[in-house]
A and B are shown apart, each in its own frame.
Chain A
Amino acid sequence: MTTTEPSHGTQARGPVPDLPGARSHEHLANFPPPETWDHHVAYDAKAHPRKVAREFMLIPTTCFNCESACGLLAHVAKDDLTITKLEGNPAHPGSRGRNCAKGPATVNQLTDPERILYPLRRAGERGGGQWERCSWDDALDDIAARIRSAILEDRRNEVLYHVGRPGEDGFAERFLQAWGIDGHNSHTNICSAGARLGYTLWGGYDRPSPDYANAKVILLLSSHLETGHYFNPHAQRIMEAKNDGSAKLVVIDPRMSNTAAHADLWLAPWPGSEAAILLAVAGHLLRTGQVDRAYLRRWVNWETYLERLHPDADRDFDTFMERLTDDYADFSFEFAAAEARVPAEKIAELADIVAGSGDALSAHIWRSAAAGNLGGWQVARSLFFLNVLTGSVGTPGGTSPNGWDKFIPHAFDPPEAHEGWNELLWPREYPLSTNELSMLLPHFLNEGRGKLEVYFSRVYNPIWTNPDGFTWIEALTDPGRVGLHVALTPTWSETAAFADYVLPMGHSAERHDTHSYETHAGRWLGFRQPVRRVAMDKLGRSYDDTRDSNPGEVWEENEFWFELSWRIDPDGSLGIRRHFESPYRPGEKVTVDEYYRWMFENRVPGLPEKAAEQDMTPMEYMRKYGVVEVARDLYRQDERPLTEAEVEGAEPDEKGVLRRPTTDESTPPLVGEAGSVGVRLEDGSTVAGWLTPSRKLELYSQSMADFGWPEHATPGYIRSHVAHSRIDAEKGEMVLVPTFRLPTLIHTRSGNAKYLNEISNTHPVWVNADDASQRGLRTGDLVRVTTRIGYYVARIWATQGIRPGVIAMSHHMGRWRLHESDGSHWVSGSVDLDRSDDGVWRMRYTSGVQAFDSDDPDSARIDWDDPGVHQNLTFPVQPDPWSGMHCWLQQVRLTKAEDGDRYGDIEVDVGKSREVYQEWLAKTRPGPNAEGWRRPEFLMRPVKPKRKAFKVGS
């Protein structure tokens, strides 16, 4: 039920559309109708039952806590422009007006008394805790001059933009391309590079988009109901399917998560064995013929499979099916059971459930096993294999690739692709890496592979989040390796404390961005906006830029990048400035309004029409609703017939791939090959297909073979570095899962949200109760967890919620500060940090979290004291030789704490961490391939250069 009253509001002058998230329980609606959003009168909750009315503007924006980008509706008081609370945005097709705990908690982040309000410049040594306030002009001039010199002196690779949560699509790529630098450095290989490779090898697209709402079987690796990509939108739909459609939920996770607790079948296998389980299911489907033959025949590159693996066999589909079945015959339930240490019957049960999915299997892995294990990408590949075998690809209830359900519009006058190749990010050792080898940056700098003139850390905290943080500290404190470190952040972080400039950027309700994520079988474009600025517009109050509407001098990045780009190229001679000139006022600096206005008017299908229906401009529409639905019920886009314009000039190659002529100057798309537009199938249909070289789903990956790994050209099982057979239980070895998330926290970004901290504020090591009692340990006991490079001291929780042999710690805690001046008192403890001459670092808490006095009386009510244990410091880098993914799972020893150990103690030998790095580096087979290519052209690569940059020596 929705509110569809005709509108007489100030902005929406036409009929108000049905909002996807509007609902009512008889007399009560979940949101005020949109036509009242500009003048919503609410009664003061605290004065109740006295009726104290206050007038608000309800202005949509987008949450910036996790990656889901759920809609928010900010309540901005008209009297003093206070943002009193943030609810969901009912206009949002993904989140549909609902949120998790982190959405409403945004208001805590806005009102955090410890926010950074002004630009700061380092006053003493790096990491010394001394800061002086500086002007934005000073900071901009300094940074711009350094970047300009780097460009003029062709030291372009010395400028890096290192981004944690992007929270936006396209903007960073734009300014990097305009500057002509190959400087995009993401956090991806400590996050999702593993799953990305597994999915990419199949269809080019690097992530899945399960259509949970219509699924018959939902197969989740890890805790997607309570965390992760895209928890709130997904949880809504998973539960709808489970409750209304009787979908079966299967969860594979060594830890009992909230999600596992909801599962019809929960498997808790030995970490790293997941691919064996999934391939056993695949083998079962093949052996029993419970596969979608028509789908396989049409969309899998089975001819290539036969050609490469069975060159002597007949080239017909039946033979392929026989050979495929034979090839996976070894993956029996018993084999998988032995690897996974779970009963074979459980795996058989899983196989039967999957077989019963028809073509409605929604399967999802994003981090977990794919991000934990050597060869973890094969887990994702094996999981999607089940989608392929059951024909559950792009079907209602099946799993689509993300690209079908995501929409990235570009702004005016897109800059040409650059021609560079930054080997600090895309080193030769990792030709198949799904993203930048960002976590190896400090090692590369140490090895002298390059140096940095300007390093931007943006909503990113690598010292804390990445493994081997002490090596990061060593690199970031050396001016010879990092000339200038600029931290763009709303709040203090361990990394910002080591910056030269700390430049405060707005939280979700204080900045502009556009973004689109694959939350369901549809497409939407979200618009994050500084809500007070929008309110000022509506109230006719003047401002110069977003700083005037934000607290202190907090800015937003878009305006910052505009300004910085102009200062890098003040006279336009570098060809940079023109990309930041107004499309409406030639030669003048573009405003953020104009930037998005042009995009909304010209690049978002259907938006101008939807806006016109309400007698609004596209910009007015987006300012009012914060989102636009671009398409819904999107399925089977592989079968989308190509338009005449698309096929114009394209010719089919011998495999039917339609290609336009290209040169080395051509620029490949973000995913896919330059010139490739689609595929002509056996039956003559000319359709979009996939983004792989063959435009089909590649069961056999020629790219894998070409780049030196023919043995992994097909979905397979790579025994993990923490496989059961590699763990010596007799010696007390165990596997540590250090990455699980809580539903209430997000990385280090939610640290200043008091309403989240008060719910989640301890950091125990989960230990199976039997393992604990065998070691004479009880809940609360201090233990040492020893890794290859050091150890940490933590407390245990003896629980039945984790499998024996495995221990786990959540990911968000262990926050510390060196000085009172640059850390959050809500979450961090004070530490002493010490480095011996031979490279052994020690960290020890001198105090835990304590109540403190501030403008917020709640800071004096803090009753938690545990800052947690910064376990990541003790992890060496373990880059997967294929995907480049950091293999998060650790082989550890769990022992009682020793005399003198104190909670939170850390000791790490960076010399050992270097050794482990080299060990893992030695597992690689460096490129280029035989043709001199650095990496396959079709693989996703942010800020993709021209084709010629892909070739070594060109």
Chain B
Amino acid sequence: MKYGFAIDQRTCIGCHACTVACKTEHEIPVGQFRTWVKYVDSGTFPDSTRDFAVMRCNHCTDAPCIKVCPTNALFKRDDGIVDFDGESCIGCKSCMQGCPYDAIYIDAESNTAAKCNFCAHRVDEGLEPACVTVCPTHSIWVGDLEDEDSGISRLIAANETMVRAPDQNTGPNVFYLGAERATLDPLEAPVRDTYLWANPDEHRLAASQDFIGEDPTAATTLNTAHPRPWGWRVATYLWAKGMAGGALFVAALAAIVGVPLGALGDVVAPVLAAAGAAATGLLLVWDLKRPERFYYLFTQPNWGSWLVLGGYVLLVFGLAATAWLAGALLGPDSLLVWLAWLVLLPCALVAGYTAFLFGQAEGRDLWQSRWLFPHLLAQALMAGAGAMGIFAWLLGVGPDGVALVTRAFVVGGVLHLAITVVDLFGGHSTRGAAVAAHMIVGGRYARLFWAGAVAPVVVAVLVALTSWNGGAAAAVAVAGMLSQVALVIYETVYVRAGQDVPLS
């Protein structure tokens, strides 16, 4: 049993009955939609035309929203419906990043994730979803896709169909008949200037400046708003935990190679690490729409979600930092060397696990890059060493220590720059990733990116090089400060651009 929809765009008249019936069925707050009708105008008068596509959750066979949901609030029913339970949702919005279809929103009343659930409450009563019932032209079909004799199966078998974003390999179960590609592929129809009887949201309008479809006349002329789910808190958290992981890593490295850092390694590094981890945790909880439910991560965990695993990574890292501090203050030096080897993995994980979390954000192609994990490590090294550099100068650490911090910083910075170039300028596996990369390097974020995220790092690396042998602690401090700001800007741009590519 696998329920799915077939939407016949050959007969859809763009009347929005489905939209409103859905809204009244579920009493959805103004401004939010579980299904809606997208319009695309194309052509030049008198050969202009308009096409429609009804957008909604695809009830994917391999649903990324379910995989990423940390608390099992999203789940697949035996009948194939991707359902959700608002009672379990903590409002982390990761499902919105996982969904490549803009199908999920945070309900303004409940502050929990919601989406088309196939009117499962009606299905359980033997009734069609509300949108199917209302449709004047019976353009929305519903039924069992696994039953070859069902009406929907026969319809799909007898006609050419399309699905949205097939390259995401999610196994979408909404099949479109007679749809124009430009209505299903948002990159084929940017928003030109306005909609025909509503205003596009500024986010979509701005993002549309950075791409054009095969048909340059195609423009989206009606759609709904999908603001970025994640903002500055997530960008800041990326920096904070990178810096934390990097700082402890530098201390551990120093212990392993036997360069004494004194208080810098014994106290500053673990304090930076613990503070960074704590800040990260706070930012993450703060970013939840239901922060009071944060503990659901641990009480009803989805062990496949990197949000849950990441939570444990943060915990382990916090323990590692605490252990380091305790070991440094109370234990013998030999213990610290052993500890150094032990904390390397937590350091790497705390910096890099986000690559796995972002990897589960199937909707954000930019973040799917194979370079993300090493990049996060490089960033962590740069930021951690940079932060240590500031304190090395403040504490008057000796030249050997400064040299080690400097070299770590330079290596991190250069790697960060190199991976940035490779990642953003290299080949992109999808058009979505390419568009996002273009937004960063040549589009709406180019100025901020080059001036705010790249140039300062280049300068910082050059400045730091003057202290390669540890002779200019102040230079490392300056470089360290520059790099913190640059990294926050980088993460901001990266987080934004990833979410700026329209999915619907």
Q: Interface on A for B, CB 8 Å cutoff? A: 23-32, 41-46, 48-51, 85-88, 97-105, 107-108, 225-226, 231-232, 235-236, 239, 242-243, 256, 258-262, 266, 268, 342, 742-744, 754-756, 758-764, 766, 768-770, 778-780, 797-804, 810, 857-858, 861-864, 866
From 1 to 60 in chain B, residues with beta carbon under 8 angstroms from any chain A beta carbon are 8, 10-11, 13-17, 19-21, 23-27, 29-31, 41, 43-46, 48-52
Given contacts A25-B151, A31-B133, A857-B109, 9 further A-B contacts (CB under 8 A): A23-B138, A26-B144, A49-B121, A88-B134, A236-B138, A744-B16, A761-B198, A800-B44, A803-B45
Q: How far is the CA of A97 from the CA of B136 in the complex (A)?
A: 9
A800 and B43 within 8 A (CB): yes
A779 and B24 within 8 A (CB): no
User: What chain A residues lie within 8 Å of B137 (beta carbons)?
Assistant: 235-236, 239
B80 → chain A closest CB, angstroms: 13
B15 and A268 within 8 A (CB): no
Looking across the interface, which residue of chain B has its beta carbon closest to that of A798? B193
Looking across the interface, which residue of chain B has its beta carbon closest to that of A759? B16
A801 and B50 within 8 A (CB): yes
Stretch at the interface among B124-132, B160-168, B371-379, B454-462: B124-132
User: What chain B residues lie within 8 Å of A810 (beta carbons)?
Assistant: 197
Instruction: Digitize B102-139: 1 where CB-to-A-CB distance is under 8 Å, 0 elsewhere.
Output: 00000011000000010111111111101011111111
Q: Does chain A have a CB within 8 A of B199?
A: yes
User: What chain A residues lie within 8 Å of B20 (beta carbons)?
Assistant: 101-102, 104-105, 744, 755-756, 759
B45 and A25 within 8 A (CB): no
B83 and A743 within 8 A (CB): no
Q: How far is the CA of A104 from the CA of B22 in the complex (A)?
A: 9
Offer 25 A-B interface pairs, CB within 8 angstroms, sorted by A: A23-B138, A25-B132, A25-B151, A26-B147, A30-B127, A30-B133, A42-B121, A45-B25, A48-B121, A86-B24, A97-B133, A101-B15, A101-B21, A102-B20, A105-B20, A226-B13, A231-B136, A239-B139, A266-B46, A743-B13, A759-B19, A759-B20, A798-B193, A801-B45, A803-B46
B14 and A760 within 8 A (CB): no
User: What chain B residues lie within 8 Å of A864 (beta carbons)?
Assistant: 198-199
With contact pairs A85-B25, A804-B45, A862-B30 given, residues A762 and B134 touching in the complex (Cβ less than 8 Å): no
Q: How far is the CA of A742 from the CA of B134 in the complex (A)?
A: 18
B199 and A762 within 8 A (CB): yes
Q: Does chain A have a CB within 8 A of B142?
A: yes
A591 → chain B closest CB, angstroms: 32
Q: Does chain A have a CB within 8 A of B232?
A: no
- Contact with A243, one of B11, B51, B133, B152 (Cβ below 8 angstroms): B11
Looking across the interface, which residue of chain B has its beta carbon closest to that of A764? B194
Q: Interface on B for A, CB 8 Å cutoff? A: 8, 10-11, 13-17, 19-21, 23-27, 29-31, 41, 43-46, 48-52, 83, 85, 87, 108-109, 117, 119-128, 130, 132-139, 141-144, 147, 150-152, 192-199, 217
With contact pairs A243-B10, A779-B193 given, residues A46 and B30 touching in the complex (Cβ less than 8 Å): no
- Contact with A762, one of B23, B26, B125, B194 (Cβ below 8 angstroms): B194
- Contact with B134, one of A51, A98, A239, A262 (Cβ below 8 angstroms): A98
A30 and B132 within 8 A (CB): yes
B15 and A861 within 8 A (CB): no
Looking across the interface, which residue of chain A has its beta carbon closest to that of B151? A25
Looking across the interface, which residue of chain A has its beta carbon closest to that of B20? A101
Q: Is the interface of A mostly helix, strand, loop or mixed?
A: loop
User: What chain A residues lie within 8 Å of B150 (beta carbons)?
Assistant: 25-26
- Contact with B30, one of A42, A51, A758, A764 (Cβ below 8 angstroms): A758
User: What chain B residues lie within 8 Å of A797 (beta carbons)?
Assistant: 193-194, 196
B108 and A861 within 8 A (CB): yes
A762 and B198 within 8 A (CB): yes
User: What chain A residues lie within 8 Å of B29 (beta carbons)?
Assistant: 857-858, 861
User: What chain A residues lie within 8 Å of B121 (beta carbons)?
Assistant: 42-45, 48-49
B127 and A800 within 8 A (CB): no
The 10 lowest CB-CB distance pairs between A and B, nearest first, are A261-B50, A779-B193, A800-B48, A858-B30, A101-B20, A43-B121, A101-B16, A239-B11, A239-B137, A48-B121
B85 and A49 within 8 A (CB): yes
User: What chain A residues lie within 8 Å of B48 (beta carbons)?
Assistant: 256, 800-801
Q: How far is the CA of A48 from the CA of B27 in the complex (A)?
A: 13
Q: How far is the CA of A798 from the CA of B134 in the complex (A)?
A: 34
B124 and A43 within 8 A (CB): yes
Q: How far is the CA of A26 from the CA of B149 in the complex (A)?
A: 10
B409 → chain A closest CB, angstroms: 46
User: What chain A residues lie within 8 Å of B24 (beta carbons)?
Assistant: 85-86, 104-105, 107-108, 755
Q: How far is the CA of A42 from the CA of B15 in the complex (A)?
A: 27
B325 → chain A closest CB, angstroms: 46
B17 and A226 within 8 A (CB): no
Looking across the interface, which residue of chain A has its beta carbon closest to that of B124? A43
- Contact with B41, one of A103, A242, A779, A801 (Cβ below 8 angstroms): A801
